Homo-oligomer: A and B are copies of this chain.
């Protein structure tokens, strides 16, 4: 494996190519369904060469997930206590839907992991994620106390946003099978916007 000095030009390029390839393969087939050969081929490397950069399949998966977790949680992280409640929430919803549209592989990567019991990221869920959600739920509760938005269970409000937005990335095949040629997000955007405006009006 490469020494842990400053990464060389080649190391940067190949590590990036591997992570990109791994995202493709893991998101499409899940951890178990992905093969190292597949990832290597997609990254344009031989299998031993790939394993020169990452010690194992598991290590690639871990690196990929932990690298993405921040990106994935950024929109919720940005929910601003001092902003306008309805606008803040609608903006969060909007960003999440945008991510389903633009980063569907990332969404499916997490979906794959979660639906199988999250054996490799259970840690992060019970710690980082839980803390973040509790923190933001606190803000939501304050807004409700102040009568700025309707009173609802804050955790379930957040779950609903995840469910409604990620559905379009995770179950893309199903959505498209039903909508046919229609662009899913064309209709999803106003639908979800209306939903939260109605729901959150006190």
Contacts and interface: CB of A to CB of B under 8 A. Distances in A.
Interface stretch (A9-17, A57-65, A67-75, A161-169): A161-169
Interface of A: 28-33, 108, 111-112, 114-118, 122, 125-126, 129-130, 133-134, 150, 152-153, 155-157, 159-160, 162-164, 166-168, 170-171, 173-175, 177-180, 187-188, 190-192, 194-195, 198-199, 201
27 contacts: A30-B33, A30-B112, A31-B33, A32-B33, A33-B33, A108-B115, A111-B170, A114-B170, A115-B115, A118-B177, A125-B174, A125-B178, A129-B174, A129-B177, A129-B178, A130-B177, A133-B178, A150-B198, A153-B190, A159-B168, A159-B175, A159-B188, A160-B191, A160-B192, A194-B199, A198-B199, A199-B199
Contacts of A174: 114, 118, 125, 129
A187 B153 contact: yes
Contacts of A129: 174, 177-178
Contacts of A155: 178-179, 187
Contacts of A188: 156, 159
* Chain copies in complex: 2
Given A112-B115, A122-B177, A198-B199, 16 more contacts: A30-B112, A30-B115, A30-B116, A111-B115, A112-B116, A114-B173, A117-B173, A125-B174, A126-B177, A129-B177, A162-B171, A163-B163, A163-B167, A164-B164, A167-B167, A195-B195
A83 to B, nearest CB: 23
A32 B112 CA distance: 12
